[in-house]
Each structure stands twice: as structure tokens, then as C-alpha cells.
Amino acid sequence: MNKRAATRWVALATVGICVGALAACAPADDNPGEGDAVTIRWWHNATSDPLQGLWADVAAEFEAANPGVTVEVTGYQNEDLQRTLIPNALQSGDAPDVFQVWPGGEVRAQAEAGYLRDISDDAADLIAEMGGAVKPWEVDGVQYALPFSFGITGIWYNKDMFAQAGIDSPPETLDELIEADDALKAAGITPLAVGAGDLWPAGHWWYQFALNACSVETLQTAIPALDFDDPCWVEAGENLEAFLETEPFNDGFLATPAQTGADSSAGLVANGNVAMEFMGPWNSGVIGSLTPEAEVPAFLGWFPFPTVPGGDGDPTVTMGGGDGFGVSAEAPDIAVELLKYIHSAEVQQRFAETGAGIAAHPAAADSLADPNLQQIASGLAGSSFVQLWLDSALGPEFGNPLNQAIVNIFGGVGTPEDVVTALKDTAAAL
Amino acid sequence: MTHHLTAGPAVFAGPAPAPVQAAPRPAPRRRRAVNGRQWLEIALFAGPALIVFVTFVILPVVLAGVYSLYNWNGLGPLERFIGLDNYARALTDPLFLRAIGNNATILVASVLIQGPLAISIALLLNRKLPGRALIRALIFVPFVLAEVIAGLSWKLLLSPRGGVNALLETVGLGELAQPWLANPDIALWVMFSILTWKYLGFAILLMLAGLQGVPEELHEAAAIDGANWWQIQVRITLPLLAPTIRIWIFLSMIGSLQVFDMVWVTTKGGPVGATNTMAVYLIQYGQGQYGYGSAIAVILFAISLAVALVYQRFAMRRDLAGSVTSGVR
Amino acid sequence: MTTTLKDTPTRTISAGRAVSSRPMRRRAAFDWGRPWVYLVAIVVVLVSVAPVAYVWIGGFRTTPDINADPAGWPNPWSLENYVVVLTSTRFWGSLFSSSLVGLGTTLGVVVLGVMAAFVIARYTFWGRGALYALFAAGLMFPLTVAALPLSVLLRDMGMQGSFLGLIIPQIAFSLPMTIIILVPFLRAIPAELEEAAAIDGASRIGFFWRILLPLSAPGLVTVGVLAFIGSWNAYLLPLLVLAAGGMPQDLWTLPLGAQQFSTQYSADTGAVLAYTSLSMLPALAFFLAVEKRIVGGLTGAVKG
């Protein structure tokens, strides 16, 4: 009996401790309150330094400049934030005040459901300063969010390997690219890496071919209208198929991830196993983190995607995207001030200096240290129109069906028509 | 960029009778009228569990089921009722049908391959061995490792320059080295091997536990009668182990239908849909379409339920008779 | 003459259980074939443990090293990752948080589970089959789909951002498995014991408290361990309740804490592996401590 009594006491004590601990960790009062005592919640996707540190500093500075205002800033893992946390928070009525807003289909869906605050007037000056980069976050002429980083996709390449294969200058047309591939293969180098295991890197190839095949009008009207009857969409797939027949990619690309580890497409470039990769502006940082020295390698260069002959596409149209923040419809006015501070020229310059990406604000363009990023920034500046990556532009419903159909072409089990069918079926089910 | 999920119900939860059953026949002595006092006891004892369960599990599940009848992107009000259209769409999508096929393959392979494997290893390990407890613990370790990290590790190990290929080259089998997860023809079997790695330890443990209930006297008696080890196992041990085996088969089937975490982290259903399962399809194609995702979840539930019912009717019935003991021996 | 508990043949219950009033007879060793048995055992253990060892050893490598040579040994051996993890307040905070939530969940699951299983196992009443089926159905629905309505529900009930708000739903999700395991276990306890207890004047509840619970201890330990491991590795619920609910990051549970070593585009693989190795230890320790009882626990259920 003693043992039983002792057990009972231990159990009760444990329960007591637990209850005490639980009570002590009761939720903080998140009522914004009246008057000057306001709490703003800010959610972003930077889970580690340098960017997390930067946002934390920005929050602290804003608090210092605005007494009575508390900023609760938290970074969450990107997929969790985008797919789970923000939609759930919006739906449950508990949206954070300032949060990461993805361009294209997502900002449109959120704006149409009334979750975002119209900042066209409040941030008018800033919008004018930032120029064309803000367009992907605009819905029907109304601005709902602002970008803090924006860049275009291009081909990252290993300058040393190009020299080794006798390629003097980066290819400017698709045929020159194919020639360069042959030269690389002759020198025993795998030309291109693609992270088709993650689906979207393969998707980017098709989007780029679509950009080359479709006229600007088609892009600008067909995508919002979800109308894919134009033959240019099939032509994009056919061009891709033709390119795939030259077998430019690394072995086993169907399972190659984009960024995880040495056998990812970025890792292959970083370790000198592959000469080129078609990827967005973040890639210099990724490749840098995957090298044995953990620095951006000196051999890394960048050139814009080659033009594709034929097709209605405008060669000055580029593809890209970025990240931005928006304000919740129910947020207090001070939240808009925080937004403006985050996107102000000085903070953007600091952002550029961290090397975490290309700042969207033109004034920060000089702060870019990396020559590749400078090239991207000038490519961006020279574009007549920047098309958002199609899976973002169309919306989250399209991402998987579209990318999967594209990967099927890569894997030799799908046709260009299948991609258009996937697009049409998804559109029909909306 | 992985999608993290809860550790949902563990795949192999331990021995259990079929979840849906006719009320088992109790020993006659125990059938008493349930009076008011007993109803109070029942309510008090089962109440808290029932309340918590209904509130946090049943309620959200029912709501999700309701969503399946709508075309809804998860934002804004539920407005567009479309009836069973989501179900029709899922059941006519070749990718989903292929996922069902993959689940069926995993189910059959688990029963036919993992079962005998676990039983054989358990039979061998049932002998007295020094360090038996340690061996048991080490075999169970994969089960303890979080699925997310297990998947990440296997992805690194199976990558072209990963540990598996390196090992093959060291032992001279270099020509077998390949990008294991990139070949659509073998990817499902590679995935199945990973699943076996993760859950075999629990199956072995379960079989070992079942073997503890087989009295040694029977073995000794048979040995005295001249039976060799093999005959003893086949004629005596296995039949007595049959209830355990039947229970494990049931749990294995339900687990195979629900498999998600390991597949998502390792291959995301690729390459080109070779390792797609119903739950993976759900997450991928339910993005921004809550109604569609919910419909797939309901289909998954219905299939699991159907399998459970059929299995219970044909295989488990005799285990339930007399399962309420009126005394053993 | 009254039948007392002492008269009940203990062998009835003890056969096959690790907990018994008589030590189990040692199985006679089969000498022949022993090396073969060891070979099989070693192969199985190696295959089981190798990937886990990979995680552990990976923690001793710097990330650039892992990226340069994914399959190699640490070159050089570096304690940096482990040091970084062990000296971060976030790790210890997460350890505390995971332990608190794990223990709370386990306690709740065992208590509520055994009470409900007792009723299903030992009482005969209208609706018992339906009750059992209801709990079992919880295993068959992919719960991720229910995450959205669950978030809304949690917010409406004000449970966001508190440990209790995490523990109670976790208990709910662990109940199906717990009840399914415990019901046959509790059923296996012979009716004579109950009769004897009744004759001795104990109520059903007295029977529950004094006889049934101690006898089913192995089963309780089994479900406790499974619930603890489930809670320890859980990701979605802690994400929804703690992370999104305003709990400070230092008090997020361990699986959530692994995020701090990745950005949107890259991961500090060495640190992730080190972090995971260290996070695994308490769950493993818990399992090792109670491992013997599990085998006994599963045995009883199977015998039923």
C-alpha cells in the first residue's frame, strides 16, 4: 500500500507542477487596447540570420520611434507560413497585422476576400518611388502590398568551366546555348542542372519558353482570364521538348532537389559538377552556402535566359518575382507606418547589404555588393515587363497540376498538350 | 521546403481487434441489466474522453466533410455549393487513381513481405540471447525517430553521391549505384523499403510479444516427441501466433492506406507520380482548394473503413468470440 | 467460504506477462544455430540503426563538409554544431516545452484512455459498439485536412498560445490508438477477479482502482510511451497552437525549433542533424527506461 500511496502522491505532484506551469504560461493578452498602447503582430518567413536579425532590428527601431507601440515579430518556415499559418489565421479572423504576402494569385485571392488593406493612398509616395516592381502585388489597380525584394530569373554559370570548354561569351540565343552544351559535353562537363524533384524548378523552364512563345498581350490578358486557347501555350511545351532532346541535364534530375544538400541542383553547381543552372536571384546565396568554403564562389557568373527564335514573345520581357509584406484589413493605422518603414529606402539599403536578396527599392541598387546581383538588377531595370512565375501568377491551385504536367514532359511521360489540359481542367474546377 | 505534418496516429498502434465490430458476445454471467447507477458510472468514466475526442477530432472532421461539398479556397465565406463534384473530379483523375493503386501495392507488399519477415526475425530472436533487450531496443529505434528527419536522412543517403551508393562502391557493387529515387520504375519499391525500415521494428516487437504467450511446455513436449525446430515453429508456434498476426495485418493495412509523412518528405510523391499516395495527393492538389482536399480525405476515410469492415468480417470474427474471458485455463 | 484474492490462481494472469508473481522460466537455450541467429540479429540491428547513426555522425560534420562529400566521415570532426545547439537558450526552452507537453499529454491520454476503455471493455450497454467504433474511426481520417476547422475552433475557445491549448487536442488525437490497445487488454482480465472483488464488497469502481489498474500497468505503460513519442515528434498541432498563437519562440516545442537552422532557400544541414540527434535523446531515454514493460504490455493485449 505504501508504494501505491507514494505513487499517488507522485502523480498528484506531477499534475500539480504541470498545472502550475501551464497556468504560468497562459497566453499574453493580445488585445490591442486603446490609446497609445498598441501591439502589432508581424509575421515573416526569415527563420535565421541575417534576415531574421534585420527584421528584429527593424521592429525594435520602430518601437523606439513610436512609444507605446509594441511589435511582436516572428519568423516562420516558408511553406508553413504560406500554406498553413496565414490562410488559417485569415480564416479564423485572427490575422496578424503585417504579414508576408505572395504576389499574383495569392494576393488576388486574399484581396478579393477582403483580408487586405488598400494602401494605394497611404503609401502613395513609396509606391511611386518603387516603380514597376510593385505591380505583381496590385489587384485591379489597387495596391495591397509592397515588395521588399524583387529579381529576375536567369542562368547561373561556372565561368571557369566555360573557359575550359572554349566558350568565350555567354550564349544569347537558344541555338547558342545548345552549342555551348555540346562544347561542355565534349569537355566532359554536364551542362545543366535542374531540380525537378521539387517540381517548380522544372516549371520555370516551361514558363520561360511560354514567355518566349506568347506575346505580351496574351500574357497580360490570358492569365487573369484563365484562357489558354492560344496555341502559344502548346508551342512552349514543344520548344521545351525539342530542347530536352538535346539531353542537357544532369543524370537523375527527376529526383534532384533544388537546394538541399550537395546533390541538389544548386549543390551540383557549387561543387563544380555542373556548369549551369536556371534559377532565381537567391541562387548566389544558396550556392554560396553549399560550397566547402561557405562563400559565393568566384567562378559564379550570370547571364539572362537566351532568346528563342520564332514565337510572339518580346525579348525584353523577363520572368521573376519576389517577396513582400501587406497589412491586414483590420490592422490599426500604425501598422501601415510600420510597412512604410520596412520598405523605406534606408531599410531597403540595409536589406541589400545583408546579401539576402535584391532590394525592390531602386535607391538600394547601389548597395548591392555582388556583381551578379548587380547584373540582375540592371537586367530588371531594362525589362519592359516582368512576368511573375506562372505558378504564382495563376494561384496556388495551379501550382501542382501545372508543375507536375511540366515534369512529366521532362520525364518523357507527358506531352505539351497535357500541360494545357492541366491548366484548363484546373481553371474549370475553380 | 518540406511540409511538416503532425505525427498522426502511429501506423502500427499495437494489437487490436477490428475497430468496427458487432458487440462481442460476453460470457453469460456478465450480462446484467445496466441500471441507472451503472449509466452514471459509464458517463463519468467515458465522458471526459468522449467530450475531448468529439470536440477536437470529430467536430473538425465533420466540418472538413462539409467543406467537401463546396468549391472553396479557404478564404472568405463558404459560398459555392457543388455537391459531389469534388468526388467526381477526384475519382476521374488518373493521378489520384494511380495513387490509390500505389497505396494498394504498398498494402499488399506490407502484408506479404513485412509480415513473414517480421515473424521470421521474431522467431529467431525469441531464443535466449544475451543482450536481447538491447537488440529489441535498437530494432525499435527507427520508430522513435521523427518521420521528417528519417525522410531527410534517407533522401541524403539515397542521393547520387550519398551513403548507399558509396557503400555499394566500397563493397565492389559499384555498377548497382544509381539515383535511387529518380527512377520511376523502382522508386515505389525503394519507398517501400524505407517504409519497411521504419516500421519493421514495431512489427517484430509485436510478434515477439505474441510469442511470449506461447507456452514453452508445448515446445518442450514436441521436442521430446521428436519434432525438429522447424516443425515446432510451423505446427505449434505459428498457429498460436495467429491472433497477433491477424491484428498486425489489420493495422498494417490501415497504415498503408494512410501513409504520408515518410513519402512526402522523401519523394513528395515523385518521380512523376511513381510514389504518389492518396494522402500525398491530398496535400498537393488540395492547395487553395479546401473543398477538393476534404473530398479526397473523405474518400480516403471511406476506403479505410471499407477495408476494415471487410477484414473484420472475414478474418477477425473468430478472434472476437470468447475474447472476453471467463477464465483462462 | 469466501473467495479472496489470494486464492485466485496467479498463474492465470501471470502466464506470458513480464509482471508476475513467479519468475518466468528461462527458455532453454538452443545451442545450435546460435551464430546464425546472431548474424541475423546483427544485420537487422545494423540496418535499423545505420540511418540514425548517419544523423548522429552528421552532427559532427560542418555543413560545408557535408555538402562537399555527403557520404564521407567527418573531416574534420567538429563539435561546433553540437555546441551551438547546446548553448542556445532556445534549445533548452524547447526541451522544457516538449517535456511539459509530452508529460501532460501522456498523463491525460493514459487517464482518459483507461477510463473510457474500462467502460467499453467491462460494461455491457447499448451503444458500446458504436462508442468503440467512434473512437476507432479517428484513426482513419487524415487529420491534416481538419487543421483549418481545428484552428478556428482553437481560436474561438481561446486556447491559442497556451500549453493547455496544445495538450488537450493532443490528448484527443491520441485517444483512438490508446483505446484500441487498452480495450482487449482490460478485457483479458478474468471475470472471476471481478466476481471475487464484488463478493469482497468492492464496487466496480473499487475493482477498477485496486485490481484492474495495477494489473494493466504494462498496457498503460505501452500507450503512455506511444503517446509520449507521438507528442514528442508532433509538428502540426504545436505549429498551430504555440507558434501561431503567440508563444515566445524559446518555448516552442523541439520539432518546431529545427526551423531556426534553415532559411527559405538553404539549410544548415550539420546543425539540423545535430539538433535532431539531441532532440531524439529524451524520447529514446524514455523508451529505454520503460521498454521491458512494453513487451509485457503488448503480451497481455495479445493474449486477450
Q: What is the 3-state secondary structure (H, E, C) of C24-63?
A: CCCCCCCCCCHHHHHHHHHHHHHHHHHHHHHHHHHCCCCH
Mutate to test the interface with A, among C109, C151, C265 (most CBs of A within 10 A): C265
Helix C217-232 and helix C269-303: axis angle, to 10°? Answer: 160
Structure confidence at residue B248 (pLDDT)? 83
Q: Taking CB atoms and an 8 Å limit, are C68 and A259 in contact across chains?
A: no
Residue bearing the bigger pLDDT, B328 or C166:
C166
Q: What is the CA radius of gyration of chain A?
A: 24
In this complex, is the C-beta atom of B213 within 8 Å of any C-beta atom belonging to chain C? Answer: yes
Judging contacts by C-beta atoms under 8 Å, the chain A residues touching residue C267 are 259-260
Structural contact between residues A274 and A193, judged by C-beta atoms closer than 8 angstroms: yes
Q: Taking CB atoms and an 8 Å limit, are B268 and A199 in contact across chains?
A: yes
Residue C82 reports pLDDT greater than 80: yes
Q: Taking CB atoms and an 8 Å limit, are B49 and C179 in contact across chains?
A: yes
Query: Alpha-carbon distance B12 to A228, whole Å?
Result: 47
> Worst-scoring range by mean pLDDT, A63-67, A113-117, C150-154, C179-183?
C179-183
Q: Beta B70-71 vs A154-158: how paired, if at all?
A: unpaired
Q: Taking CB atoms and an 8 Å limit, are B184 and A113 in contact across chains?
A: no
Structure confidence at residue B192 (pLDDT)? 96
Judging contacts by C-beta atoms under 8 Å, the chain B residues touching residue C26 are 128
Q: Where on the phi/psi map is residue A90: left (φ > 0), alpha (ψ -120 to 50), or beta?
A: alpha
Strand, coil or helix: C228: helix
Mean pLDDT, consecutive 10-residue stretches, chain A (430 aa), reads 54 52 46 66 91 95 95 93 92 92 94 94 92 89 94 95 93 94 95 94 96 92 91 95 95 90 90 94 88 88 92 89 95 95 94 87 85 89 90 92 95 94 91
Q: What is the 3-state secondary structure (H, E, C) of chain A?
A: CHHHHHHHHHHHHHHHHHHHHHHHCCCCCCCCCCCCCEEEEEEECCCCCCHHHHHHHHHHHHHHHCCCEEEEEEECCHHHHHHHHHHHHHHCCCCCCEEEECCCHHHHHHHHCCCECCCCCCCHHHHHHHHHHHHHHEECCEECEEEEEEEECEEEEEHHHHHHCCCCCCCCEHHHHHHHHHHHHHCCCEEEECCHHHCHHHHHHHHHHHHHHCCHHHHHHHHHHCCCCCCHHHHHHHHHHHHHCCCCECCCHHHCCCCCCCCCHHHHHHCCCEEEEEECCCHHHHHHHHCCCCCCCCCEEEECCCECCCCCCCCCEEEEEEEEEEEECCCCHHHHHHHHHHCCHHHHHHHHHHCCCCECCHHHHHHCCCHHHHHHHHHHHCCCEEEECHHHHHCHHHHHHHHHHHHHHHCCCCCHHHHHHHHHHHHHHC
Structure confidence at residue A32 (pLDDT)? 46
pLDDT tens column, B238-285: 888 887 788 788 889 988 999 998 999 899 888 888 999 999 999 988
Grid coordinates belonging to A146: 509592397
Residue B208 CB partners (closer than 8 Å, separation 6+): B122, B125, B126, B136, C295
Q: Taking CB atoms and an 8 Å limit, are A411 and B272 in contact across chains?
A: yes
> Worst-scoring range by mean pLDDT, A122-136, A205-219, B97-111, C3-17?
C3-17
Structural contact between residues C277 and C53, judged by C-beta atoms closer than 8 angstroms: no
Considering chain A, tell me which residue range(s) the CATH 3.40.190.10 domain(s) occupy: 38-151+321-384, 154-319+389-429
Q: What stretches of chain C adopt beta strand conformation (E)?
A: none
End-to-end Cα separation, chain B, in angstroms: 58
Query: Alpha-carbon distance B311 to C290, whole Å?
Result: 33
> For chain B, which residues make up each domain, given as ranges?
28-320
> Worst-scoring range by mean pLDDT, A321-330, B260-269, C7-16, C243-252?
C7-16
Residue C147 reports pLDDT greater than 90: no
In this complex, is the C-beta atom of A288 within 8 Å of any C-beta atom belonging to chain B? Answer: no
> Worst-scoring range by mean pLDDT, A384-398, B241-255, C110-124, C270-284?
B241-255
Q: What is the mean pLDDT of chain B?
A: 81
Tell me the CATH architecture of domain A38-151+321-384.
Answer: 3-Layer(aba) Sandwich (3.40)
Q: What is the CA radius of gyration of chain B?
A: 23
Q: Taking a contact as any Cβ pair under 8 Å apart, which residues of chain C between 74 and 103 contact chain B?
A: none
Nearest one of A86, A38, A8 to A333, comparing CA atoms: A38
Q: Taking CB atoms and an 8 Å limit, are C44 and B163 in contact across chains?
A: no
Structure confidence at residue A338 (pLDDT)? 95
- pTM of model > 0.90: no
End-to-end Cα separation, chain C, in angstroms: 30
- Kindly provide the ipTM of the predicted complex, given to two decimals: 0.83
Nearest one of C139, A26, A71, C155 to B12, comparing CA atoms: C139
1.10.150.120, 1.10.3720.10, 3.30.200.100, 3.30.420.40: CATH of B28-320:
1.10.3720.10
Average pLDDT over residues B108-133: 87
Q: Taking CB atoms and an 8 Å limit, are A289 and C266 in contact across chains?
A: yes
Mutate to test the interface with A, among B272, B282, B294 (most CBs of A within 10 A): B272
Instruction: Compute the nearest-CA separation of B293 from chain C (Å).
Output: 7
Residue type, C212: L
Q: Taking CB atoms and an 8 Å limit, are C239 and A85 in contact across chains?
A: yes
The HSE-up count of residue B173 (CA atoms within 13 Å, CB side) is: 9
Angle among Cα C89, C95, C98 to the nearest 5 degrees reads: 135
Q: Beta-carbon neighbour count of residue B115 at 10 Å?
A: 17
Instruction: Give the C-alpha distances (Å, rounded to integers) separating A95 from A88, A140, A359, C164.
Output: 8, 23, 26, 22
Structure confidence at residue C204 (pLDDT)? 79
The HSE-up count of residue C205 (CA atoms within 13 Å, CB side) is: 9
Q: What is the 3-state secondary structure (H, E, C) of B4-33?
A: CCCCCCCCCCCCCCCCCCCCCCCCHHHCCC
Instruction: Quickly state the pLDDT bin for B107 (edges 50, 70, 90).
Output: very high
Residue bearing the bigger pLDDT, A167 or C68:
A167
Grid coordinates belonging to A85: 499559418
Nearest one of A309, A264, A256, A311 to A283, comparing CA atoms: A264
Residue A122 CB partners (closer than 8 Å, separation 6+): A336, A340
Grid coordinates belonging to B220: 518442450
Residue C96 reports pLDDT greater than 90: yes
For domain A154-319+389-429, the CATH class is: alpha beta
Q: Which of B141, B290, B296 sits opposite C284 (nearest CB)?
A: B141
Query: Alpha-carbon distance B99 to B91, whole Å?
Result: 11
Grid coordinates belonging to C213: 489498474
Mutate to test the interface with B, among A80, A99, A404 (most CBs of B within 10 A): A404
Average pLDDT over residues B39-65: 92
Domains and CATH numbers, chain C: 90-253+281-303 (1.10.3720.10)
